[in-house]
Amino acid sequence: MEIFVTKIPDLLIIKPKIFTDSRGYFFESYNKQLLKKHNINVEFVQDNESKSIYGVIRGLHYQIEPYAQAKLVRVLEGKVLDIAVDLRRGSPTFMRWHSVELSAENKKQFFIPKGFAHGFAVLSETATFSYKCDDFYKPDSEKGIIFNDPQLRIDWKIDLNKAIISEKDKKLPAINEAEYNFNY
């Protein structure tokens, strides 16, 4: 595995070493010791999976403290543009976002620490998205930011007039009105 540091502190892209032969491929998708070497000391307790069609945007979601979640995300089938927004007050990259294309082909993973809003847009006909969380889902602490917040100006790489957004996500507040309690 190779770990790449992004321009946002603690936000990492993980590229596995893939072994292929006539039978197919093999790669290590998770290695706690390697992550620990990069100061990622999380214990994942829940795995989630979703399947979506082209044009779906899910997010931007997070859970506030004390139930904030770190996530390790990847795509099992298809392709998405994955987005993380830094919500940690005091961070040098506060309110900035980073994107990475995750696909079944490139097998990259995105480590998103606590203190970030997260979302993705489906760029392929369908996509199966998988993620590990280091805390359980707590509906009362779930929060979010509207996907098309004008202050963030996120380029989702799809036509937003044709984007498929849940009713719940359409009602999320702008970043300046959102509730979050993270510190850097």
pLDDT digits (tens, 9 = 90+) for 41-63: 999 999 999 999 999 999 999 99
Query: What is the rounded CA–CA span in Å between residue 155 and residue 57?
Result: 12
In a domain, 63, yes or no: yes
Find out whether 175 and 119 touch, Cβ atoms under 8 Å.
no
List C-alpha distances in Å: 96 to 75, 160, 176, 184. Answer: 23, 20, 13, 14
Provide the number of structural domains found in the chain: 1
Q: Where is 119: in which H helix or E strand?
A: strand 116-122
In a domain, 25, yes or no: no
In a domain, 11, yes or no: no
In a domain, 93, yes or no: yes
* Radius of gyration of the CA atoms of the chain, in A: 16
Percent of the chain with pLDDT over 70: 100
Strand locations in 18-115 (E): 18-21, 24-27, 46-53, 57-63, 71-77, 79-86, 88-89, 97-103, 109-112
In a domain, 12, yes or no: no
CATH at residue 78: 2.60.120.10
Query: What is the rounded CA–CA span in Å between residue 105 and residue 76?
Result: 9
pLDDT digits (tens, 9 = 90+) for 146-173: 999 999 999 999 999 999 999 999 999 9
In a domain, 5, yes or no: no
SS3 of 134-182: the string is CCCCCHHHEEECCCCCCCCCCCCCCCCCCCECCHHHHCCCCCCCCCCCE
In a domain, 3, yes or no: no
In a domain, 174, yes or no: yes
Find out whether 14 and 110 touch, Cβ atoms under 8 Å.
yes
pLDDT digits (tens, 9 = 90+) for 9-37: 899 999 999 999 999 999 999 999 988 98
By residue range, what is the domain housing residue 157? 44-183
pLDDT digits (tens, 9 = 90+) for 89-133: 999 999 999 999 999 999 999 999 999 999 999 999 999 999 999
Active site residues: 61, 131
Provide the pLDDT confidence category of residue 39 given band limits of 50, 70 and 90.
Answer: confident
